[in-house]
Amino acid sequence: MRIGSAAQFGPVARGFVIGGVLAWAFVTLFPFYWTFVTSFKNLRIIVGGPTYFPFIDFQPSVHGWVELFTGVRGNMFKNLANSTIVGVSAAVVATLFGTMAAYALARYRFRVPLLAGLAFAVIAIGGYVALTELGMGRFGAISLAFAVALATSIVLGNLKLPGPLLGNEDIIFWFISQRMFPPIVSAFALFLLYSEFGKAGFKMTDTYLGLTLCYVAFSLPIVVWLMRDFFEALPPEVEEAAIVDDVPVWRIFLQIVLPMVMPGLAATFMITLAFVWNEYLFALFLTNTQWQTLPILVASQISQRGDEWWALSTAALTAIVPMMLVVWLLGRLMRSGLMLGSIK
């Protein structure tokens, strides 16, 4: 809904509003412009002091772009492909599963005994420690302990146990809490875990599967959290109308609920994709040659031969432009007002 237009302000207020907007636009757009012009400069121009306008106060050269595309400074195409493949797969998988989880959390009431959750932690950690003490390999120990813990907690979860019950809000909090600590904490742990997998014969570091799984795990909480809000904003009667009409749950979800949250879904997918696309820390830990992503390439431009700003700029632009394209494509899906006419 439109709340008002700029016309309802007086001329002075309007001047302030427009001035403010222009100032902010400058703040956000100038770095982009600066990166763009810098990518056409060479060392002499850069050390010669600030220049702003190609052809007017400096003669642009395309050597930065030539270097980028010929692969003089790392294989840009490969990293771009890696980022695209990993980013899209992780965003698709995380959005898919996260959305389903969020729907369940928004529409069904869960009651999990706290004891079942505690049992999981105790059996998983205790089992691992005990099994390794008994001389079992780490990989075997962790797999076995984890499987037993999961099975036990599922069984316990369905029993009437004494003690407090965890509800949907607790489950959501548990999801979000995974994003509350700095990522470096889990980056180390994940690296060690993947190394153990590698020793046991499943190569996880520097693989498509390893990197994608890690990103899915880290995107899921955000997806669940965002999507649940979108689902809760829907009037339940629309789904109930379908329930009374004997429509199976999966069709209600796919054909009625998903179309209604399309703007939210597009926004969530976008946020997830942007997170994975820009992610640096995990990519640094978990990849080296095969599955390096764009942020690593951009960062690596700094260290090689001193500060070569044109190289950094071309790499940065390569990382930015695809995201802008995606925003432009998905932007039209994000328009609101899809629910209009459903109720009242």
Partner 1 sequence: MTQVTLENVSKSFNETVVISDFNLAIENKEFVVLVGPSGCGKTTTLRMIAGLEQASGGVIRFGERDVTGLRPGKRNCAMVFQNYALYPHMTVAQNITYGMRVRGAPEAEVKEALANAARILDLEPYLDRLPKKLSGGQRQRVAIGRALVRKPDVYLFDEPLSNLDAKLRIEMRVEIRDLHRRLGTTIVYVTHDQVEAMTMADRVVVMNEGRIEQAADPITLYREPANLFVAGFIGAPSMNFLPGAISQGTFTGADGCSFPIPPQRLASGTDCAKAVCGVRPEHILAEASGPAKVKQKVKVVEPLGPHTLQVGMVGDVQFTAQVPAARKVSPDDVVELGLDLDELHFFDAATGKVLPKGS
Binding site for partner 1 (CB under 8 A): 235, 237-238, 240-248, 251, 255-256, 259-260, 337-344
Minimum Å gap between C-beta 154 and partner 1 is 24
Minimum Å gap between C-beta 15 and partner 1 is 37
Supply the Cα-derived Rg of the chain in whole angstroms.
26
Q: How is the chain split among helix, strand and coil, in percent rounded to 5?
A: 70, 0, 25
Minimum Å gap between C-beta 225 and partner 1 is 24
Minimum Å gap between C-beta 167 and partner 1 is 12
Q: Enumerate the β-bridge partners of residue 113.
A: 165
Q: Which is nearer to partner 1, 239 or 308 (CB)?
A: 239
Q: Which is nearer to partner 1, 241 or 323 (CB)?
A: 241
**Which tokens in the block code for residue 259?**
């179309």
Q: Which is nearer to partner 1, 106 or 286 (CB)?
A: 106
| Residue 115 neighbours by CB distance under 10 Å | 19
Q: Which is nearer to partner 1, 11 or 341 (CB)?
A: 341
CA distance 160 to 113: 8
| CB-count exposure of residue 39 (10 Å: 0-12, 13-18, 19+) | buried
Residue of 217, 320, 216, 329 whose CA lies nearest to 270: 329
CA distance 49 to 69: 27
Minimum Å gap between C-beta 267 and partner 1 is 17
Minimum Å gap between C-beta 96 and partner 1 is 20
CA distance 156 to 166: 13
| Residue 257 neighbours by CB distance under 10 Å | 21
Residue of 287, 285, 266 whose CA lies nearest to 85: 287
Minimum Å gap between C-beta 282 and partner 1 is 37
| CB-count exposure of residue 164 (10 Å: 0-12, 13-18, 19+) | exposed
CA count, 13 A, side-chain hemisphere, 276: 32
Q: Which is nearer to partner 1, 168 or 300 (CB)?
A: 168
CA distance 214 to 134: 30
**Which tokens in the block code for residue 97?**
């599963």
CB 296 within 8 A of CB 280: yes
Q: Which is nearer to partner 1, 148 or 241 (CB)?
A: 241
Q: Which is nearer to partner 1, 133 or 245 (CB)?
A: 245
Q: Which is nearer to partner 1, 7 or 244 (CB)?
A: 244
CA distance 74 to 89: 24
Q: Which is nearer to partner 1, 255 or 288 (CB)?
A: 255
Minimum Å gap between C-beta 251 and partner 1 is 6
CA distance 229 to 170: 15
Minimum Å gap between C-beta 109 and partner 1 is 11
